Amino acid sequence: MHISAQTYKQWLDEGKPHQLIDIREQYEIESCTLNGQPIAMADILDQLNEIQSGDVVIHCNSGKRSDAVVFALRQKLQRNNIHSLEGGIQNFVGLYLPEQNCAS
């Protein structure tokens, strides 16, 4: 269910095809972003047609909201290729993009 920041960074470095979805609120995205497709957590189950068939990585700020969304999506869509970015954007940026200011 989870994808580590290290594995996700490897995917980016290798150019692995995937869809990144940011489920945070707009004000959160405005302060810090990984340029994922914005679909608010409250709207995602109503926008299933926006979720691609390949690998999907969903992130929030810390990973808690994305864990819940990934669990729901995996059950609803019967798919195992939907992943929650472990530790969220805070963890990823802290490790790989420290110049970005993503203070929560």
Q: Record the tokens describing residue 70, joined without a space.
A: 């990934």
pLDDT at 102: 76
- Considering only the C-alpha atoms of the chain, give the largest distance between any 2 of them, rounded to a whole number of Å: 38
Instruction: Give the whole-number percent of the chain exceeding pLDDT 90.
Output: 92
- Give the pTM: 0.96
pLDDT at 103: 66
- For the chain, domain boundaries: 2-96
Calpha distance 100→80 (Å, rounded): 31
CATH class of 2-96: alpha beta
Averaged pLDDT of the chain: 95
Q: Which amino acid belongs to residue 66?
A: S
- Whether the CA torsion 101, 81, 10, 36 is positive or negative: it is negative
32-69 tens-digit pLDDT: 999 999 999 999 999 999 999 999 999 999 999 999 99
Residues 6 or more apart in contact with residue 94 via CB below 8 angstroms: 102
Calpha distance 64→47 (Å, rounded): 20
Q: Which amino acid belongs to residue 103?
A: A
Q: How far is CA 73 from CA 29, 62, 79, 103, in A?
A: 22, 18, 8, 28
